[in-house]
Amino acid sequence: MKIHLKRTLLNLVLAVLLFPALPSALFGAEGDAKSNSGAAASEESIRLATIHYGTETEISSLIQALRNEGSGSLDEELITLVQSTRNRTIIRGVFSFFGERNKSGLEERAIRAIEERDDETNDTIQAAVDYLGKVKARDAVDPLKELINTRERRFMNNAIRALGRAGGRADGKADSIANDTAEYLVDLFSNEETADESRREILSALGETGSKRGVPFLAELAENNEERSALRIAALESLARIADDDGLEAILAAVGDADPNIRSTAVTSLGPFKGAAVDKAILEAFRDSYYRTRIGAAQASRERKLEEAIPYLKYRAEKDDVPQVKDESLRALGAIGSREAMSILDTFFTERKGSDRVRIISAEMLMKNDADKYLDKLVVELDEAKTKNQTALYNGFLKVAGESKTGKLDSLARRFLESGGIIEKSYALDIAANNNLRNLSREITPLTEDKNASLARKAKVTLEKLGIKPES
């Protein structure tokens, strides 16, 4: 009996040493709370250790977690890691993570990857090129041109795309770098050695530069009925990005093209331009039987805030048989934002027999325009949807609330934090972060130790955004 007891005690001691979390399970809730608090406090050090010593798989998982949280807390450590490693999976992952946030700090390493490409893998070079384009790194213009000039097909399209962005206009104005980049791209397109599969990328890159130097070339190509549709479409899109009046005639001419894809692209491209001829072309496009042209008309109306289009948009939102046309029409009404447009959206939103999709987008537009005015209505419809178990509608309205900006949302957020489910608490955290509701810190802090790991991490990130240090 004594031997058995000794063995039991020995096993217990070993278990405690090997599994630190076990005492909390054995000795009550207080120990469990301390264990959770300790785990929360050490999470940062665990993540740092992953960066310093982790495998590529572990670091990739960490990057995905940071992406999900919208956190940049470890950016400096990741920059240091990329400077020292040659692991292509890690480098590609960090370049991608930084690029999608337009986060600078890796330009020197990315340029080095291009210049010393004989020592790098193809994946690393591609990731570096894409990153330089996304952050619009002006210092990368010459290295990117050098890479393009090698005519290595494996890099061409990515490098051309990145060059257009990196060499684009600064502060909304085309400078000498933008103009030189546009001229380089025009020459590249005209060069007989340029592969056909790169020509569309060149046209798109011309639009990214924002330089007027490319407009005559793009306009001529857009009007050429003998040219391939894909290239004409790319030229029209770039003319819209540059938004120079010298390109308007070519776009108007394409509005009546026999090819419906060119027609729809031309209508969408009218958005940045002004004038009676432009307005007339947009309104006429609402009658086009090709649904993408009607989408283009709605998008152009939205960009121009074209009040004359309101009755057309209302009709399309009510009657069109294509959901995307309805969506774009509602968003255009929201962008116009006049009293008449808002009244129409209000009607769509409060009509309980309407489709969930129409009601949710209408609510989104109303809250973006005047959240203080429409919040009470949103709460009423939110509760009504929950009462009737309309889950899709309820979650849609929750998302609208989570993205809205008004200090009046604090009571709704508090309600969700105190008595809501996981989804409601998650949107409440969005509300708090978007509206800087520091007064909710008392309700948010307990969630940092929630059993749902994702919710706990989001609560910590929310407190960081609010400038509040979680209690340890």
Give the DSSP letter string of 99-159. Answer: HTTT--S-HHHHHHHHHTGGGS-HHHHHHHHHHHHHTT-GGGHHHHHHHHHTT-HHHHHHH
Strands (DSSP E) found in 227-312: none
Q: Predicted confidence band at 321 (pLDDT cuts at 50, 70, 90)?
A: very high
In this prediction, residue 431 carries a pLDDT of 96
Q: Predicted confidence band at 470 (pLDDT cuts at 50, 70, 90)?
A: low
In this prediction, residue 11 carries a pLDDT of 42
Of the candidate ranges 27-41, 183-197, 254-268, 368-382, the one whose mean pLDDT is the lowest: 27-41
State mean pLDDT over 275-281. 96
The C-alpha atoms of residue 297 and residue 312 are separated, in whole angstroms, by 10
Burial pattern 116-154, b for ≥16 Cβ within 10 A else e, equals: ebeebbeebbbbbbbbbbbbbbbebbebbbebbeeeeee
Residue with tokens 């909304």: 172
State mean pLDDT over 418-422. 94
The CA dihedral of 114, 116, 122, 123, to the nearest 10 degrees, is -70
State mean pLDDT over 101-118. 95
pLDDT over threshold 70, residue 5: no
pLDDT over threshold 50, residue 71: yes
The C-alpha atoms of residue 77 and residue 79 are separated, in whole angstroms, by 5
Q: Predicted confidence band at 369 (pLDDT cuts at 50, 70, 90)?
A: very high
pLDDT over threshold 70, residue 240: yes
Q: Predicted confidence band at 471 (pLDDT cuts at 50, 70, 90)?
A: low
Distances (CA, A) of 417 to 203, 376, 399, 445, 447: 50, 19, 15, 10, 9
State mean pLDDT over 78-106. 94
In this prediction, residue 130 carries a pLDDT of 96
- Looking at this protein, which amino acid is placed at residue 60? S
When comparing pLDDT for 299 and 37, which is higher?
Answer: 299
Distance from the first to the final alpha carbon of the chain: 44
Residue-averaged pLDDT of the chain: 90
pLDDT over threshold 80, residue 300: yes
In this prediction, residue 399 carries a pLDDT of 96
- Please tell me what DSSP assigns to residue 408: G
pLDDT over threshold 90, residue 170: no
When comparing pLDDT for 468 and 275, which is higher?
Answer: 275
Q: Predicted confidence band at 468 (pLDDT cuts at 50, 70, 90)?
A: confident
pLDDT over threshold 80, residue 19: no
In this prediction, residue 169 carries a pLDDT of 85
Residue with tokens 């193809």: 122
- Looking at this protein, which amino acid is placed at residue 26? L
pLDDT over threshold 80, residue 355: yes
Of the candidate ranges 127-131, 153-157, 167-171, the one whose mean pLDDT is the lowest: 167-171
Percent of the chain at pLDDT above 90?
A: 82
Q: Predicted confidence band at 377 (pLDDT cuts at 50, 70, 90)?
A: very high
Q: Predicted confidence band at 21 (pLDDT cuts at 50, 70, 90)?
A: very low
In this prediction, residue 299 carries a pLDDT of 97
In this prediction, residue 294 carries a pLDDT of 98
